Amino acid sequence: MLGYIRRRNKQAARPRAVTFPEAGARRSQKMPELPEVETTRRGLVPLVVGRRIATIDVYDPRLRWPVPADLGARSAGRVIEGLDRRSKYLLFRLGHGTLLVHLGMTGSLRAFSQAPPRRRHDHVDIVLDNGVTLRYHDPRRFGAMLWLPESGTAHRLLARLGPEPFDAAFDASYLWQSTRRRGAAIKLALMDNHLVVGVGNIYANESLFRAGIRPSTPANRISRQRLGRLVGEVQATLADAIAKGGSTLRDYVDSAGEPGYFQLDYFVYGREGTPCRVCRTAIRMRRMGGRATSYCPRCQR
């Protein structure tokens, strides 16, 4: 009984944000898309590259796929030679192997110079030789942490991915040629990882608005010139989000709160029924492939 009271008192003395982190997290949490993953990578690079992994502590291996039991044994003692990103996968280069991390729907990877007590949903700690701890937190556990041989390019998760949106290979000719036999809506094509990676729902909506293309337009009915414009707007939209993410980099280190995921001022995403920022026509919403699709009926043809 005494213990119970003491616990309650201790909780009552804590600030609200710490007492109820889950409720707050759920309200504010946005699924990490390519810009958030890239922001995480840029935040971690200066802390981890060149450091040696001391231990990996797996508290709960039940992610989207089980965390391999030998992950710690394979990784311990290895130097992190680089930290790359492919699509939404973070790839820690460890000499003859790669540690792959995916943040799933609700995952985050934060660095702590001194690890605080574990919270609920903290599943994995990667401890470096300088004492820095990378902590993987994921309430819904749709993320992944896997060991891939060598660079992992042959692994089933990576082998069939399309080009990165910032690759030179993703240009007007490529998009035109690869959509000539696709009668499906351009928005669905854009979100297909085999065509181009990392264009999630939000960024597909936004770049189609910026390119003036109606999301339901069959991909093979769009001219090469308009697809060229779309390529540019996909890149610009993602670059804007990554630039915005840069202002939140400090949130990835020694911060007790949720990751500093950020929001652009969207043109159409989540704005149905409100006036278009360009022409004042009401933004419309329909579902395509199960995902909310917003567009301006006047600006997008």
Q: Is 103 in the site for Zn ion (CB under 5 A)?
A: no
Q: Which residue in 293, 265, 295 sits closest to 279, CA to CA?
A: 295
Distance CA(29)–CA(23), nearest Å, equals 10
Told to judge if 32 belongs to the known catalytic residues of this protein, a careful annotator would answer: yes
Q: How far is the CB of 274 from Zn ion (least distance, A)?
A: 11
- φ, ψ of residue 66 to 5 degrees: the values are -60, 140
> What does residue 117 show for φ and ψ, rounded to 5 degrees?
-55, 145
Task: By CB under 5 A, tell whether 299 contacts Zn ion.
Answer: yes
**Catalytic position from the list 41, 88, 135, 226:** 88
From 11-19, 213-221, 253-261, 272-280, give the range in contact with Zn ion by CB under 5 A.
Answer: 272-280
Give the DSSP letter string of 252-271: GBS--SS--------SSTT-
Q: Which two tokens stand for residue 99?
A: 């540690």
Stretch that binds Zn ion, among 85-93, 229-237, 267-275, 277-285 (CB under 5 A): 277-285
Task: Work out whether 208 is an interface residue with Zn ion (CB under 5 A).
Answer: no
Of residues 11 and 281, the one with the C-beta less far from Zn ion: 281
If we measure between CA atoms, which residue out of 107, 75, 108 comes closest to residue 93?
75
User: Strand runs (DSSP E) across the chain, as ranges?
Assistant: 53-58, 82-86, 89-93, 97-102, 108-112, 122-128, 133-137, 144-149, 284-288, 291-295
Among positions 27-56, residues that touch Zn ion (CB under 5 A) are none
Catalytically annotated residue among 33, 36, 38, 258: 33
Q: How many residues bind Zn ion (CB under 5 A)?
A: 7
Q: Is residue 301 part of the contact set for Zn ion (CB under 5 A)?
A: no
Selected binder of Zn ion within 59, 279, 286, 301 (CB under 5 A): 279
Which positions lie near Zn ion, rule CB under 5 A? 276, 278-279, 281, 296, 298-299
